[in-house]
Structure 1
């Protein structure tokens, strides 16, 4: 496993990280989830990402239990805040950040998180209030560093301006969706972040499993897959279009040429970007963790990268909006 520095922090995170969206505490049984977590550590993965809203606290609760007994300095733990936890608890107000952070720490059974992320931008709360609350969280020792997910370049720049004037803590990470099937961050977010000491922590680098090649355009989704799951399949429908699935199958010979599996090829494509510190994988079986972890350190020939991008763009265009 290779490691990369996370922005302007002193955190070194594994190139492959383990996420818990739609999986742990929700769609994957506890014993299988524990096996995936154990395999992640066996493979040198040190970065675990979650959020308070995943299972309305269930994912954090699972991790809090599963991580007990493991040295706290042996892993990097990240969670997020924004989405509703009840009919009245949501957003990035000072009161919500303080309340939700304490609740997350209790569920995670830890005194601090290494990275606390704004899960989305909150237009209903002044940015100054959000940044002040995050800065207090850092000063309290409950949070080491702060990040955001799916903010646009104007929102990022406004936060950077506050940090530059000494009015707020500085973001060190961005968590966007990014894959061969979704390249929108390349336009503005990645360049801005690269210039300002902010790294990308990529979610859905395998297009929710579509880039694994397991979905046949001419057959129903296989049993046991995310697309077949009531708990985990609600966000994948737009990626199951026949033209997308056929394009993905055309990537298989390129992966073969690189002596990689298709998931490894897709992860290596994401990690070719220097501003990406880590690609978050979701796994329901330890074998998936083992396979995906092997993508760390892989360098794919630039000609294969260009051919892969051409295949996707010719088939479906830039799917970024």
Structure 2
């Protein structure tokens, strides 16, 4: 397993991490992701650790806290051998103080997460969504307090607009408090919007990317084929519509090339799709998920080898689509192709 710097922090993380969104399985969304309980979670974690995957990602909103609770129970006795990443900020109820990252909500959320995770620290805390109601100064002062207490070691954001992340970075410098070092984002061969604005920002400011849904909400698992239908037993029936839409022409063009390269390399379609992501600038870590051992074993096979330059270029070409304004203008510039090398080096 390769290890990479998390942005410009001193933290080294494995290029793959395990996403615990399948743990618990309650609610209309998360019940379709998976319903893993403690014993099965422990077995999957064993497999991860054997492969060198030492980073586990969750969130308080996943199955209303059950994902954190199951992860904490499954990690009992080996906390110091792993890194835990969790997120907070999305609604946990209907009350006025059950969403966002105000000072009180953030402190309460961290305390609750620590209890559920059975730990005294969160290695990577991420604000799960942009909160327009809380001033950046309040967020930064609260994060600084939590880090000084040792309850949070590193921090970042998830699903943030570029201008809001830049605001946090600038104000952190002005206030002389820790900057966000990671941005957890959606990025896949059928969803490359991250490249338009957030990737250049990350490269310029030293913010590493943790990638969620690298298989495009299940579209790139190898179960879909041009001219075929969605298998009768597939989470795509319930989950694909919850993510960003994907044009069918783009999807099947990408799948055609993925199947070609999978045949050339002797790898699976998901392994090829994930491997391409690990080669992209600013990517520190790709989060893989699995409901069972077979899925996890396959996803773990995405690393330890590399697509050659021609194969990577084919995937880049076939998955390219027109960027929105103003990214379309600067992407035409010669220098765009020479974004800084990934902030992550083994």
Common fold: TM-score over 0.5:
yes
Aligned residue for 1:151, secondary structure, equals coil
Conserved? CA contact 2:41–2:74, under 8 Å: no
Query: 1:226 corresponds to which residue?
Result: 235
1:191 aligned residue (191, 200, 204): 200
Query: 1:92 corresponds to which residue?
Result: 101
Q: For 2:162 and 2:299, how far apart are their aligned partners in 1?
A: 30
Q: For 2:129 and 2:265, how far apart are their aligned partners in 1?
A: 36
Q: For 2:181 and 2:243, how far apart are their aligned partners in 1?
A: 29
Gaps of 5+ in 2: 26-33, 326-346
1:243 aligned residue (237, 249, 259): 249
For residues 141-220 of structure 1, the aligned pairs below 5 Å read 141-216=150-225, 218-220=227-229
Taking a change above 3 Å as real, the CA distance of residues 319 and 255 of structure 1, as seen in their structure-2 partners, is: farther
Conserved? CA contact 1:175–1:203, under 8 Å: yes
Aligned residue for 1:57, secondary structure, equals helix
Query: 1:25 corresponds to which residue?
Result: 24
Q: Does 1:82 align with 2:89?
A: yes
Q: For 2:240 and 2:69, how far apart are their aligned partners in 1?
A: 22
Q: For 1:56 and 1:234, how far apart are their aligned partners in 2?
A: 21
Aligned residue for 2:110, secondary structure, equals helix
Structure 1 residue 107 displacement after superposition: 0.4
Count of aligned pairs: 313
Aligned residue for 1:289, secondary structure, equals helix
Structure 1 residue 64 displacement after superposition: 1.0
User: Higher mean Cα deviation, 136-145 or 33-42?
Assistant: 33-42
Structure 1 residue 289 displacement after superposition: 1.6
Conserved? CA contact 2:254–2:315, under 8 Å: no
2:58 aligned residue (50, 60, 73): 50
User: Higher mean Cα deviation, 111-120 or 145-154?
Assistant: 145-154
Aligned residue for 1:212, secondary structure, equals coil
Q: Does 1:263 align with 2:262?
A: no
Q: Does 1:290 align with 2:297?
A: yes
Taking a change above 3 Å as real, the CA distance of residues 56 and 319 of structure 1, as seen in their structure-2 partners, is: farther
Taking a change above 3 Å as real, the CA distance of residues 259 and 74 of structure 1, as seen in their structure-2 partners, is: same
Query: 1:60 corresponds to which residue?
Result: 68
Q: For 1:123 and 1:185, how far apart are their aligned partners in 2?
A: 21
* RMSD of equivalent CA atoms: 2.1
Conserved? CA contact 2:85–2:123, under 8 Å: yes
User: Higher mean Cα deviation, 298-307 or 46-55?
Assistant: 298-307
Tell me the alpha carbon deviations over residues 249-301 of structure 1, each in whole angstroms, 9 at most, x when there is no partner.
30211222233211111111100024111100110111222221222243212
Q: For 1:156 and 1:86, how far apart are their aligned partners in 2?
A: 26
2:43 aligned residue (35, 44, 67): 35
Q: For 1:5 and 1:222, how far apart are their aligned partners in 2?
A: 39
Gaps of 5+ in 1: none
